A = this chain, B = another copy of it.
Amino acid sequence: MEKQTNGRPAGASDARPRAAADDCADCGPQGADTLALRVVARAITGKWKLEIISCLMDGPMRFGELRRALPDVTPHMLSAQLRELAASGLVSRAAFAEIPPRVEYALTEAAWALVPVLRELLAWARRHGRPDGLGVAD
């Protein structure tokens, strides 16, 4: 591209554009913004969380239903990921003290509010995401 192979624009190296990419005044590399983003990243980072959310987008599901819908997920992981999703407020857990026991998981309002953003992320991935250079193969 137009990237010069050499030649520093130089002198005023401190003349940062301050591109207004962040909206808070104090946003440094370790600012609150980045922190918050890491929280979100963490919330959906996990080998099966997106799959679980995707399932739950069709409506509430029980533990066994999720197991059947996601055959590759062990009970161990399903339980763990579900607990983490609940801890981050993305999934609600409704247990019924019956025989046999029944538990239903569903997306919270926060999760539903996140869905449109996820779809934008998806749109971005379709525009810019090349399968090359990424190792997402399990």
Q: Which residues of A contact B (CB under 8 A)?
A: 3, 5-6, 16-19, 21-23, 27-31, 33-45, 50-52, 54-55, 57-59, 69-70, 87-89, 92, 94, 96, 98, 100, 102, 110, 113-115, 117-122, 124-131, 133-136
| A133-B45 contact, Cβ under 8 Å, with A22-B57, A29-B55, A117-B117 | no
> In the complex, what distance in Å separates the CA atom of A24 from the CA atom of B57?
13
Give chain B residues whose Cβ lies under 8 Å from the Cβ of A115: 21
Shortest distance between the CB of A114 and any CB in chain B (Å): 6
In the complex, which of the residues B19, B120, B126 contacts A120, with contact meaning CB atoms closer than 8 Å? B120
Further 7 A-B residue pairs, CB within 8 A, beyond A19-B57, A34-B51, A114-B128: A16-B59, A21-B119, A29-B54, A29-B70, A39-B131, A41-B44, A120-B120
CB pairs A–B below 8 angstroms (5 shown): A21-B57, A29-B70, A30-B70, A36-B122, A117-B117
Q: Is B102 within 8 A of A5, CB to CB?
A: yes
Whether A125 and B40, one on each chain, are in contact in the complex, defined by CB atoms closer than 8 angstroms, is yes
Are A34 and B54 within 8 A (Cβ)? Answer: yes
